[in-house]
Amino acid sequence: MSDPIEYVRERLAQQDQRLTPQRETVLRVLLDHADTHLTAEEVYLEARNRAPELGLATVYRTLDLFARLGVVRRLDAGEGVARYEFHPEGAGHYHHHLICLECGQILEFEQDLLDRVERAVERETGFRVVDHSLLLFGLCPNCQKPSDGDGDRPRSDREASGPA
């Protein structure tokens, strides 16, 4: 896909929708922060810098529409709030997410390890896999370091309970 803005415009047109200035602002925020996973509130704060009239409800509706169209991936990192990233449907494997249970950091893992699993699923069920999403929960290198010098790092509430 050469131009993501035109791609989204075409996807919207297929559903008799338009790429309004508000929707384009939200899309540009996501594209400009392609290396992060923004919450709707973070998208809103950045979008308001560009378009002060933009409302939070519009951002939520736009993100929901983009997710339904398959141009944005909604990521539930187990922290009770969704995060969003631009990921067009049909673009194939993108990356996996490593989520730290201690600090909430989200790292991306680019290597695809599920090709064999996808082929086995297709072979055994007849289900054609077009994409997948993998979330791995654990501790980032920084949070694995002992905090009090005795080798026992206290577990956080998030770590003790695991992903929601």
- Digit-coded pLDDT (tens) for 81-115: 888 988 766 555 566 778 788 887 777 776 767 77
Among 7-16, 65-74, 84-93, the least confident range = 84-93
CA distance 160 to 102: 9
Q: Which of 39, 66, 91 is the last residue of a domain?
A: 91
Q: Are 79 and 42 in contact (CB under 8 A)?
A: no
- Report which of 55, 74, 59 is spatially closest to residue 27, judged by C-alpha positions: 59
Q: What is the CATH number of the domain that holds 20?
A: 1.10.10.10
Are both 44 and 124 inside the same structural domain? no
Given this model, what pLDDT does residue 90 score?
A: 52
Are both 67 and 98 inside the same structural domain? no
Q: What is the CATH number of the domain that holds 118?
A: 3.30.1490.190
Split at pLDDT 50, 70, 90, the class of 158 is very low
The number of distinct structural domains making up the chain is 2
Given this model, what pLDDT does residue 162 score?
A: 53
Are both 14 and 81 inside the same structural domain? yes
Residue 60 has pLDDT above 70, yes or no: yes
Q: Which of 69, 91, 113 is the last residue of a domain?
A: 91
Among 3-17, 18-32, 86-100, the least confident range = 86-100
Residue 159 has pLDDT above 50, yes or no: no
Residues of the chain with pLDDT > 70: what percent?
A: 79
The whole model's pTM is what? 0.65
Q: Are 102 and 84 in contact (CB under 8 A)?
A: no
pLDDT, average across residues 32-39: 87
Q: Which of 61, 91, 121 is the last residue of a domain?
A: 91
Split at pLDDT 50, 70, 90, the class of 154 is very low
Are both 45 and 74 inside the same structural domain? yes
Given this model, what pLDDT does residue 160 score?
A: 47
pLDDT, average across residues 142-157: 61
Of residues 56 and 99, more confidence is placed in 56
- The tokens describing 160, both together, are 């003790």
Instruction: Give the domain range for residue 107.
Output: 92-164
- The tokens describing 100, both together, are 């730290």
Are both 133 and 58 inside the same structural domain? no
Are both 39 and 75 inside the same structural domain? yes
Given this model, what pLDDT does residue 94 score?
A: 62
- Report which of 144, 141, 140 is spatially closest to residue 155, judged by C-alpha positions: 144
